[in-house]
Amino acid sequence: MKPLLISIALFLLLGTTAAFLGFMYLTDQTPGTAIANLHDESRLILYKYGMVDRLAPSEVTRLYRSTCTRQCHGKDVIENKPRTAAEWEAVISRMKAPDRANISDRHAETITRYLQNNFLSNVPTVLPEKTMKFVKQYLWRSDFGESDLFLDIIYVPREHLSLLRYLLVRNPPDLQQKEIFVVFINTHQGTVPPWKLAEMSTLRINDGPPQKSTGWGVLYRDGQEHHNQGILSFSPLDASQPAKLEITMQLAGLGTRTFQWNLPVPPLPE
């Protein structure tokens, strides 16, 4: 029995050695690099099945590259086109399908966080080019990330409600009788405060009296509390005459933020 066990052990050792040497030859790696790569790949497999609790930053990068830029397409397709947090989540959700990248739930969550942290756009990127230029000129206002908290607001006039589908607003409530502002809140280091923006925001036309918001509804919130998207609404107003539209937000701990638009807003480009 002992000689048999020794023979089996030697066979397995030789087979493993041959496989390892073949792996090094095919991948053109040094022994040290090959061992490191096998270790990292083993960690990713164990993480997939919950046998490793957390990945190091370098391992998360490896997971992203091995899943997204080797199986599907080059990295430029991803890294040269940042998306909002909600858009990245939707992209990875689609890639979980068996006929696509077939990403596991655990890997998908980790890759989504990596993309949100490294290739984030504060506003949607799926708008047609002409429409995006129009939005940036007439509808989108930003505070440019003061205090590491980025606030971006897109005014959506009632005659432009067709824009909502590009802003990932699914099944919106009755918005025909309201003034609508889609708000994006992003932070890179801290967490988004649990603000009730309806209680902190007022709208004013020219020098008229301030109007209180009629509602704030969160549309998207990521698991790390780094990204929020919601709808801030006000009572309808006459936006057909030349005027200045102004929203003021009294943000707890961050002072006052003011955003302005000129009315009337031109028609959407064809």
pLDDT exceeds 80 at position 270: no
pLDDT exceeds 50 at position 21: no
Q: pLDDT tens across 172-202, in order?
A: 656 667 899 999 998 877 888 889 999 999 9
pLDDT exceeds 60 at position 244: yes
Which contiguous run of DSSP H or E holds residue 20? Answer: helix 2-27
Q: pLDDT tens across 25-61, in order?
A: 444 556 655 565 666 677 777 888 788 888 888 888 8
Distances (CA, A) of 33 to 25, 37, 164: 12, 6, 49
Q: SS3 of 204, please? A: strand
Q: SS3 of 17, please? A: helix
The number of beta carbons lying within 10 Å of the beta carbon of residue 127 is 16
pLDDT exceeds 70 at position 85: yes
Alpha-helical runs (H) found in 49-200: 57-64, 76-79, 85-95, 105-118, 129-134, 197-200
Give mean pLDDT, residues 90-109.
82
- Position 138 scores a pLDDT of 96
Mean pLDDT across the chain? 80
Q: Which of 103, 119, 117 is nearest to 68 (CA)?
A: 103
- In the chain, pLDDT over 90 holds for what percent of residues? 24
- Position 205 scores a pLDDT of 93
Q: pLDDT tens across 137-171, in order?
A: 999 999 866 677 889 999 999 888 888 887 877 66
Structural domain spans, the chain: 24-118, 129-263
pLDDT exceeds 90 at position 64: no
Whole-model pTM over 0.75: no
Q: Which of the listed CATH numbers 1.10.3660.10, 1.10.760.10, 3.30.413.10, 3.30.420.40 matches domain 24-118?
A: 1.10.760.10
CA 261/CA 106 separation, integer angstroms: 43
* Between 170 and 249, residue with greater pLDDT: 249
CATH topology of domain 129-263: Immunoglobulin-like (2.60.40)
The number of beta carbons lying within 10 Å of the beta carbon of residue 230 is 21
Determine contact, residues 95/72, Cβ cutoff 8 Å. Answer: yes
